[in-house]
Amino acid sequence: MASLPEMMRRHRIVKLILTLFPDAENQWIKFNESADAFVNLRDPEVRNVFLKRSFEPNFFKIAAALLSDGGVYFDCGANFGLCTFGLLPLVDVGRLFCHMFEANPVLIPYLEKSCSAYPAVFTRIVHGCLSDRAGFSPFQRCPEYTGHSHVTAAGDDLIQNVVLDDYVQQNGIEKIRFIKMDIEGQELNALRGFSRSLADGLIDSIYFELASDVLEPYGLAPNHVTEFLENQGYDLFAPQAGANKRSSQDTLVLFRGEPRELTLARYCPAPEPIRTDLLAIHRSLVTESLSSPNI
């Protein structure tokens, strides 16, 4: 399907092809010019990436800046791994260590096949639900939208939990440069399982989704997540342009040591419902300038 001309890159046409040729659902796709991943095109979100050949450019601008010279990277809620595999062409992979966490067992073979295309990169795939306690979590798979699969009491699968503090200790990890976290309302549980590492300043930065509608079923609100991170010593920024109209857009965030510069706005809580991405940066790494540099 990669050879489809531009005029045929439409959801309806791809769905028709998949109806006629069901075995064609599993495909290698290319996106963001030089990234490759093995996916299932029946998933509408993945199919959209295939059609547009583009995925989350704002995320990669930030991730590439923070991992420009390598380091340990956690992909929490990897799904088909597009965040990880889109990042690899942008950084020094010889110094990058990728740990990918995914609860949906259906997605593990896709991640493994995609990893096979990058033999020079250290990647570790971990199957499990990120939690603040050992044991198992009931997990409901969403057949059509894999990214909407989630932990729920009505889940058909029991998936073993992964407590990230334990994982860090068991693997001798001393510093995590960057974390991407998108786990359908379980962010606070995962962060609580990371409490020791967060308090020790082991984690430099966390890029995560904040969404009222996915938190509400667990009796949570966005401020539960943001206040937890702030109490652990993190400053919150809105990486998307225009996401925070009440906040100045000319805040300069500087990282000590190797030069890394990003222009971000401090996050200001907005009336609910909220759906946005946020970047949490450990306070010890942040300095600010209220000038407007051209970066």
In 161-183, which positions are buried (b, 16+ CB within 10 angstroms) versus exposed (e)?
Answer: bbbbbebbeeeebeebbbbbbbb
Q: How far is CA 157 from the centre of its chain?
A: 23
Three-class secondary structure of residue 28 per DSSP: strand
Q: Per-residue confidence of the chain (295 residues) as pLDDT tens digits?
A: 667 777 677 888 888 888 999 999 999 999 999 999 999 999 999 999 999 999 999 899 999 989 988 999 999 999 999 999 999 999 999 999 999 999 999 999 999 999 999 999 999 999 999 999 999 999 998 877 888 898 988 888 999 999 999 999 999 999 999 999 999 999 999 999 999 999 999 999 999 999 999 999 999 999 999 999 999 999 999 886 444 444 444 455 555 455 566 778 889 887 888 999 999 999 888 765 434 333 3
pLDDT for the residue numbered 289: 43
pLDDT for the residue numbered 243: 42
Set out the domains of the chain in order of their start, with CATH numbers: 1-55 (no CATH), 56-285 (3.40.50.150)
